[in-house]
Amino acid sequence: MSSSSITLKGSYTVRPSEPTLSEWDQFGIITHVPTIYFYRPPQNWLTPPIKIATTLKDSLSKVLVHFYPLAGRLQWKTNGRFELECNAKGAQFIEAESSSTLSDFRDFSSSSKNDYRNLFPFVDYTLPIEELPLVIIQLTNFKCGGISISMLVSHAVVDGRSASHFFCEWAQLARGEPLNRVPFLHSNMLNDGKPCNGVKEWNFSELPVLLGNLKSNVEKKRNKTTVAKVKVSKIQVEKLRKIANESWNKSSNDRSYSRYETITGHLWRSACKARGHENDQPTWLGVSVDWRSRVKPNLSKEYFGNATMDVMATSLAGDLISKPLGYASSRIREAIEKVDDEYVRMVSECIKKQDDLTKFQNLDEVVSGNIVPFYKNPNLGVISWLTLPLHGLDFGWGKAVYMEPGIHEIYEGESLILPTLHDDGSLLIFICLQEVYMDAFKIYFYEGIELDTVVK
């Protein structure tokens, strides 16, 4: 039999025939979002401490079968767009030991940016994006026997609801139980051929800037920032809601202002006062809206990906300050209620038409070390985690005694509202402002409600 020769005719990279990420995954924050859970050592671990790392790694490998996009890597395309390559490269798992004890964290009451920083994995964003895992976990063992589990998940792939779904199912498998809710994986839910008619082109407006002398404003922006962690009791929340609902005209058919609309309006007004805004200062407040239930047909609650969008409540600072709380809440409600099926589809189409998305992403600022947050003086952004299953995460050795977002990763003008550990109706708020305004903010925030809680 005669030998034959082979001539290579070409080598090609074959990409998926359809997008593996939706337009919503291409837009906004594309870095990792951090959270951390702390566990005290019970007298009798259901899982021996020596097996904790093995249990976590084994169950993580199993849950990634179902949530396989998180085991992949991002790949840059062109003009700020990227795609997800489901190449099963996996998550990163880090084990660490600390000479600290859980009691060293002062019952987790501190608001210092640096208290927990070394308990989170470091992400080197100078590396090519295709080398960065989408999920990075750090298990830290304390000398008292307690542990912390910090989790970093890429916001380019999931939003808060999807990340929480992933954590809950991971814990479920770690306990030896079957998967509870299977993720609904479909990146093109809005590409159903349904036309978007009668809506004008969405306007990507620039956020307002501080009025006044440009040089002075540049110097103000260089002021050091700090994060405050404030607790609001259930009684205080209900008192604010009563004030909001009784202080602004609503028709008899309108529902009462929600906790979010009330607390966020109060945050907005307090920040304007603390920052010393002029009456004619324009200020915007960014609201992140989950649109799963706002499109027709509704997306599955298990829809896995990014299904949130930011909308802006707008006002003059003088109106916010001089008018009652209900006015601020009404501006926030107006922004939220415009997010309907037609609006979501319109924004999706407008994102698709953008020639370059890099101006809407923040990775370059992270790489350069020159963080330019989306919300900064005179604006504010308030994210709600009020409906997420944050607490009670149990991997088989009991529920977490404390959970916290990675507050060292929030920047000036950003804030976050979440329920407290005991789910008793009280709320925990993290807000980052320039240090020179923080004391005044706390005073204004607690004006009109009982000072029955310690402000850290």
Predicted confidence (pLDDT) per residue in 441-451, tens digit: 999 999 867 64
Token readout for 62 is 């199993």
- At 436, give phi and psi (nearest 5°): -65, -15
Q: What is residue 243's predicted lDDT score, i.e. its pLDDT?
A: 93
Annotated active-site residue in 66, 310, 394, 408: 394
- pLDDT(415) > 90: yes
What is the pLDDT, as a whole number, of residue 346?
87
Q: Which residue has the tokens 């923040």?
A: 362
Q: Which of 147, 141, 180, 170 is nearest to 71 (CA)?
A: 170
Measured CA distances, 268 to 329, 365, 445 (Å): 10, 26, 9
Is the pLDDT confidence value at 110 over 60? Answer: no
What pLDDT was estimated at residue 17? 42
Position 64 scores a pLDDT of 95
pLDDT digits (tens, 9 = 90+) for 232-289: 999 999 999 999 999 887 666 688 999 999 999 999 999 999 999 999 999 999 999 9
pLDDT greater than 50 at residue 206: yes
Which is more confident, 64 or 187?
A: 64
Please report where in the chains the tokens 């504010």 appear, as a residue. 380
Structure tokens at 112: 């210092």
- Please give the share of the chain, as a percent, with pLDDT higher than 90: 57
pLDDT, average across residues 56-60: 94
pLDDT of residue 38: 95
Whether 165 sits among the annotated catalytic residues: the reply is no
pLDDT band at 371 (very low <50, low <70, confident <90, very high): very low
266 is annotated as an active-site residue? no
pLDDT for 340: 94
Give the model's pLDDT for residue 366. Answer: 47
Mean per-residue pLDDT of the chain: 83
Q: Compute CA distances 125 → 119, 128, 364, 367, 373, whole Å.
A: 18, 7, 9, 5, 16
Q: Given this model, what pLDDT does residue 455 score? A: 39
Residue type, 245: N
**How far apart, in whole angstroms, are the C-alpha atoms of residue 374 and residue 176?**
42
Residue from 417, 414, 439, 438 nearest 428 by CA? 417
Of the candidate ranges 28-42, 222-236, 257-271, 334-348, the one whose mean pLDDT is the lowest: 28-42
Rounded Cα distance, 37 and 170, in Å: 14
Question: Are the CB atoms for 349 and 320 separated by under 8 Å?
Answer: no
292-300 average pLDDT score: 92
Question: Which of 456, 440, 393, 436 is CA-nearest to residue 169?
Answer: 393
**Lowest-pLDDT range, 77-91, 230-244, 306-320, 414-428?**
77-91
Is it the case that residue 374 has pLDDT exceeding 60? no
Q: What pLDDT, on a 0 to 100 scale, did the predictor assign at position 15?
A: 45
Could you give the dihedral angle defined by the CA atoms of residues 80, 81, 84 and 89, in that order, rounded to the nearest 10 degrees? -20
- Write down the catalytic residue from 25, 32, 155, 165: 155
Predicted pLDDT of residue 217: 61
State how far the alpha carbon of 435 is from the alpha carbons of 13, 70, 228, 317, in Å: 51, 37, 10, 20
Report the side by side order of strands in the sheet with 427-434: 225-232, 427-434, 414-419, 380-384, 282-290, 308-316
Q: How far apart are CA 259 and CA 387, in angstroms?
A: 11
What pLDDT is attached to residue 348?
A: 85
Question: What's the whole-number mean pLDDT along residues 19-40?
Answer: 76
Give Rg (Cα) of the chain.
24
Report the alpha-carbon distance of residue 241 to residue 238 in Å, rounded: 5
Rounded mean pLDDT, 159-182: 96
Closest CA to 113 of 388, 412, 377, 374: 412
